[in-house]
Amino acid sequence: MSFKVALLSIYHESNTFVEKPTILTDFDNRRNLRGRDAIRKEYQDAHHEIGGMMEVMDKEGIEVIPVLVAEALPGGTITAETYHKLLQDMLAGLDEILPVDACLVIPHGAGVSEDFPDMDGHWLSKVREKLGPEIPIVGTLDLHANVSSLMVSSTNALVSYKENPHVDMRQTGIKSGKLLVDMLNGKTNPKQVLVQVPLAISIEQQLTINEPCKSLYSYADQLASEKGILSLSIQHGFPYADVAEMGTSIIVVADGDVNLALNTAKKLETYILDRRESFVGKKNDIPSSLKMIRNSAKPVLLLDMGDNVGGGGPANNTCILEAFEKSKEYKYFVCIYDIQAVITCSEHQPGETFDVQITGTVKEGAKVHTIRVKLVRMTDGNFTEANPRHGGQINHRMGKTAIVSTDQGSIIMLTSLRVMPFSLQQLISSGINPKEFDAIVAKGVNAPIAAYAPVCPTVIQVNTPGVTQADMTLFNYKHRRKPLFPFENN
């Protein structure tokens, strides 16, 4: 028997502490794809869950029909107008291919729109409403999802990435695809439960190859191997979304046995809560981080946690840049998003020296840093990444980009689009050798490690200020659930 499966995705990690909203142009600048040809071309060979899903469906001879894949860089809350446009396009596209035997869905799990704080739960529920209760809906979630009851009740099975950095996205797509195939063939009867743990794992403690997550996932694997368990997922949560679901959660899918799923999830919850103190990380400030470079194996990867582009950071925090320029001790690389600075640079020829003003976003507003630079080159900012990296994408765009050097030989990359530091090709494609620096600044927390670990023997997470600062207790939440450790010592 042949099957027909729809594929749908509205994907965004929404930082509600970012004042600038996410609009339709942000999706257009990233990915806003419709129809099977465009989506298959982009994702079939990508290290992304959509590629994994397609791989399974193709092997099984199942017709998969991609309808819409819309993704914007992490940023502020999505405007109501933007979300409703995307939702309307998705549902209209789904109507055009009905009836279907099943549906594959790819939400992020931390999407927020102006009118629907639980945006992912809302669009999943609308898909369920349209398809009815009997059509299987299976999908994936980001490890940083803030999972709601509505997300879970609207689907039959959701599977999260297990690795941070997220280099297992394609494997996660394969896992969810196989779950759907078994369900369609009547081999399994998935029963899914959600447990919202009264705890939020600190962002810098979410590196899965290190403790405390290493032991956590080892125990989770033991539980997942028990007879009848189809899937077990840990969502660390996204602390920069002021929503009721913010925090760590567990999803367990069992074969026809809700009690088995719930009991398994509760065992894992107990494990986490018994070790709650280990999920609160140590914070290194900028001066101490720079001192650590001196006796560390180089190049050192400095992770600018307060300007984590993968968490909605503006990509233009200059505080580490300013500290380097003040000390003059190290040769560094840093990438800054600044359209006007790129325009200034484009008015000069390679080899020319001039002053450029770099405008950074700080807590108090905009701050201008003037620096004397030499233009090395201008590029179109396009590059590709063939290896599995956080995000799973192949094609990347930085917009028109300026490469400038300082009098100490450091390199500043100025881009006209925000870009997440998930690929060494960002440097290499621009003629930059990453091994030549004492320190490389990447605006992230854990995600850049997959890209930079091959050349950076030392990693230092820097507790910088900003809309993605590491200490979540410093944010003013109005909607989070209570009690929630470390806010309350429950």
pLDDT tens readout for residues 208-249: 999 999 999 999 999 999 999 999 999 999 999 999 999 999
Could you give the percent of the chain with pLDDT greater than 90? 86
Structural domain including 340 reads: 286-470
64 and 132 both lie in a single domain:
yes
CA-based nearest residue to 2, from 97, 94, 100, 96: 100
Q: In this predicted model, what pLDDT tens digit does every residue of 412-442 receive, in sequence order? A: 999 999 988 878 999 999 999 999 999 999 9
How many separate domains does the chain show? 2
How would DSSP label each residue in 151-170? HHHT-SEEEE---SS---HH
272 and 292 both lie in a single domain:
no
Residue 480 lies in a domain: no
Residue 483 lies in a domain: no
How would DSSP label each residue in 410-427? -EEEEESS------THHH
Q: In this predicted model, what pLDDT tens digit does every residue of 34-44 receive, in sequence order? A: 988 999 999 99
Average pLDDT across the chain, whole number: 94
Decide if pLDDT at 162 tops 90. yes
* AA identity, residue 77: T
Looking at residue 386, what is its pLDDT? 73
User: CB burial class (10 A; 0-12, 13-18, 19+) of residue 318?
Assistant: buried
Looking at residue 390, what is its pLDDT? 54
316 and 421 both lie in a single domain:
yes
CB 248 within 8 A of CB 272: yes
CB 117 within 8 A of CB 479: yes
Residue 60 lies in a domain: yes
User: What is the distance in angstroms between the CA of the first residue and the CA of the last residue of the chain?
Assistant: 52
Decide if pLDDT at 387 tops 90. no
Looking at residue 35, what is its pLDDT? 86
253 and 292 both lie in a single domain:
no
Helix/strand/coil for 106: coil
What would the mean pLDDT of 280-303 be, rounded to a whole number? 93
Residue 478 lies in a domain: no
Residue 328 lies in a domain: yes
CB atoms within 10 A of CB 88: 10
Rounded to whole angstroms, the Cα distance separating 11 from 120 reads: 8
Q: Please tell me the least confidently modeled range out of 103-112, 158-167, 419-428, 436-445.
A: 419-428
203 and 76 both lie in a single domain:
yes
CB 247 within 8 A of CB 198: yes
Residue 481 lies in a domain: no
Task: Please report, to the nearest 10 degrees, the dihedral formed by the alpha carbons of residues 244, 245, 247, 252 taken in order.
Answer: 150
Sequence length of the chain is: 490
Q: In this predicted model, what pLDDT tens digit does every residue of 262-276 receive, in sequence order? A: 999 999 999 999 999
Residue 383 dihedral angles phi and psi, to the nearest 5°: -155, 165
Q: Please tell me the least confidently modeled range out of 40-54, 142-156, 254-268.
A: 40-54
258 and 373 both lie in a single domain:
no
Decide if pLDDT at 47 tops 60. yes
261 and 351 both lie in a single domain:
no
Cis-peptide, bond into residue 299, ω within 30° of zero: yes
Looking at residue 414, what is its pLDDT? 97
Final residue before a domain boundary, out of 241, 258, 279:
279
Q: In this predicted model, what pLDDT tens digit does every residue of 338-379 receive, in sequence order? A: 999 999 999 999 999 999 999 987 665 678 899 999 999 999
Looking at residue 189, what is its pLDDT? 97
User: Would you put residue 7 in left (φ > 0), alpha (ψ -120 to 50) or beta?
Assistant: beta
Model pTM?
0.91
Q: What are the counts of helices (DSSP H) followed by strands (DSSP E) for the chain?
A: 14, 19
162 and 255 both lie in a single domain:
yes
303 and 395 both lie in a single domain:
yes
260 and 307 both lie in a single domain:
no
pLDDT band for position 388 (50/70/90)?
low
303 and 268 both lie in a single domain:
no
293 and 270 both lie in a single domain:
no
Q: Please tell me the least confidently modeled range out of 293-297, 390-394, 408-412, 466-470.
A: 390-394
CB atoms within 10 A of CB 187: 9
